[in-house]
Amino acid sequence: MEITPGLGTDLAKIGDRRSQVEERIGPPHHGPGGRRAVYTTSPMLVITYAADETVELVEIRYSGEGADTEVHFDGVQLTHRFLDDVVADLHALGYTSTPSDIGHDFHAGFSVWSMHSLWAGDLDPEAAEDDERAVSETVSVAPYAYFTEG
């Protein structure tokens, strides 16, 4: 799934009404009518809605089902890779970011991050048990200010 920084994906964009999103992908699997809704797409979408029922944040989780079903931007696979490698690839393309406590917030309007639910051995069968490399698990898309104002 390809992201558009600051906007979202083809399935859900910042500012879309909940009804528009659900016309495209169906009702949520979890959280119908709530502020956060989980949709059973591949990869899985988690949408945060504002009080006026418009999309304010689009999160896309890793699928683990192969590169074709992961999140991409500008030729870079963003999920199910080592976080440091993702950040290095994006920086090499000229995208700038600020570190956060769980990943990197990119000025273009997205964040890549890890809650450490995956470990290095999920990507590298030769990783030692104490390998602390973070795996990029989720991409959040919103204007940069969403990640830094708070």
- Residue 102 exposure: Cα atoms within 13 Å on the Cβ side: 13
**Six token digits for residue 113:** 């991050």
Return the pLDDT at 150. 59
**Six token digits for residue 71:** 């999140």
Let me know: does 36 contact 21? Beta carbons within 8 Å. no
- For the chain of 150 residues, list the mean pLDDT of each consecutive stretch of 10: 97 97 94 88 95 97 92 97 98 97 97 94 93 96 90
**Six token digits for residue 148:** 């830094």
Return the pLDDT at 142. 98
- Residue 74 exposure: Cα atoms within 13 Å on the Cβ side: 13
User: DSSP 3-state assignment of 15?
Assistant: coil
- Residue 96 exposure: Cα atoms within 13 Å on the Cβ side: 1
Return the pLDDT at 149. 82
Return the pLDDT at 31. 77
